[in-house]
Amino acid sequence: MAVIEFVNGKNQTFKGMRKAIDYITNLAKTEPHLIDGHNCDSSNAYNQFVMTKRLYNKETGRQHIHFTQNFAPYDKVTPEDLKNIADELLEMEAFKGFEIVYAVHTDTAHLHTHFVLNTVNRETGYKWRQSAEGLQNLKDYSDELCRKRGLIITHGKTGNYKKRGEYSAKAKGQSWKHELYLAAREVKRNAKNKEDFINNMNKLGYKVNWSDTRKNITFTTPGGKKCRDKKMHASEQFTKDALMKTFDINRQRESDFVLDTKMELMISSMCLVMSNEHQGNIKNNPFTAMEGEELKELMAEHKKGKGLDWDKEKDAEM
């Protein structure tokens, strides 16, 4: 099931609102097709939020509301499922007229969706108010959407689910499995097809046994540990069907040239880290060490050294 959590904070500045929007739409954490806007354009959400506030002369007080819908690692859902659930959740009457930018994050062992809501209603000018009853209605409707998809619903104050930080800590406790998850996640982001995925996993030292005669994919780490797709963190993202769907989306989103260039940059950046004999555990678990923004920054620096310009070279190819 999904757990609704509101991110505490006064949220009283435009700067904080921009940072929240930038954070949830960060492509190191999500994918372009998993970002959307309710009553607004997700690519221009901040400016639209500000325009609405100025239209009704309501530029003080709380500027935005930030909440999440979190799924457990064992929930059999894909990032696209979360996007569809979020779409339906925002059809609630409570959100009518409110501008909301939202994005599914796939950078942790459990999938979750972030929502940032403009506190001023663009249709009425009224500010967001939520009672205890309204919060319960939101949670109940979230449960209903999960129930429709066959997900288990638990009752009680906390249910059987841990906080997000606990999921992450548990995942990182199993370092080799978390490292495998991160490596496979980064490779699938820009893989064009099955062969491309397998070849680039091989370049990182991982073997991939993907046979048409077997139901599951088996990964073998550089250290020789084996793991089937169904035993991986966020396992629903690494089934044969889920990966093939991701490859199709990748090819629709960008040209083969751009996908190959991004893949080459990521692979060469990580190989550079792994080749450093003085890095200790970073060498053995490079993706864990360089997770998130650090990997993005490393790739940016390596890109400068290689003289790559994706946008320029993409235009030249076309």
Q: Write the CATH number for 131.
A: 3.30.930.30
| Strand arrangement of the beta sheet that strand 64-71 belongs to | 2-6, 64-71, 112-118, 100-105, 35-38
Q: In terms of domains, do 116 and 27 share one?
A: yes
Radius of gyration of the chain from Cα atoms?
21
Residue showing tokens 């940032």? 116
Q: In terms of domains, do 224 and 90 share one?
A: no
Last residue of a domain, one of 102, 137, 165: 165
Q: In terms of domains, do 161 and 234 share one?
A: no
Q: In terms of domains, do 201 and 311 share one?
A: yes
Amino acid residing at 174: Q
Tell me the H-state helices in the chain.
14-24, 45-55, 79-89, 132-148, 164-173, 175-190, 194-203, 240-253, 256-274, 281-284, 286-289, 293-306, 310-317
- Count of residues in the chain: 318
Query: In this structure, what are the phi and psi dihedrals at residue 39, rounded to the nearest 5 degrees?
Result: 65, 20
Amino acid residing at 260: D
CB proximity list for 10: less than 8 A, separation 6 or greater: 62
Rounded CA-CA distance 4/274 in Å is 39
What is the residue-averaged pLDDT of the chain?
A: 83
Q: In terms of domains, do 152 and 194 share one?
A: no
Q: In terms of domains, do 154 and 189 share one?
A: no
Q: In terms of domains, do 155 and 180 share one?
A: no
Q: In terms of domains, do 140 and 275 share one?
A: no
64's tokens: 């935005």
Greater confidence (50 vs 262) lies with: 50
Highest mean pLDDT of the ranges 119-123, 137-141, 169-173:
119-123
Average pLDDT (87-94) is 97
Q: In terms of domains, do 124 and 18 share one?
A: yes
In tens, the pLDDT along 50-65 reads 999 999 999 999 999 9
Predicted confidence band at 283 (pLDDT cuts at 50, 70, 90)? Answer: low
257's tokens: 């040239």
Last residue of a domain, one of 108, 137, 165: 165
Last residue of a domain, one of 136, 165, 194: 165
15-38 per-residue burial string, b: 16 or more CB within 10 A, e: under 16: ebbbebbeebbbeebbbeebbbbb
User: Do residues 268 and 255 make contact, with C-beta atoms less than 8 angstroms apart?
Assistant: no
Domain count, the chain: 2
Residue 217, class by beta-carbon neighbours within 10 Å (0-12 exposed, 13-18 middle, 19+ buried)? buried
Average pLDDT (180-193) is 92
What's the per-residue H, E or C state across 262-318? HHHHHHHHHHHHHCCCCCCHHHHCHHHHCCCHHHHHHHHHHHHHHCCCHHHHHHHHC
Q: In terms of domains, do 139 and 287 share one?
A: no
Q: Can you give the residue range of the structural domain that contains 308?
A: 174-317
Q: In terms of domains, do 144 and 12 share one?
A: yes
Q: In terms of domains, do 190 and 280 share one?
A: yes
Average pLDDT (310-318) is 39
Predicted confidence band at 153 (pLDDT cuts at 50, 70, 90)? Answer: low
Residue 260, class by beta-carbon neighbours within 10 Å (0-12 exposed, 13-18 middle, 19+ buried)? middle
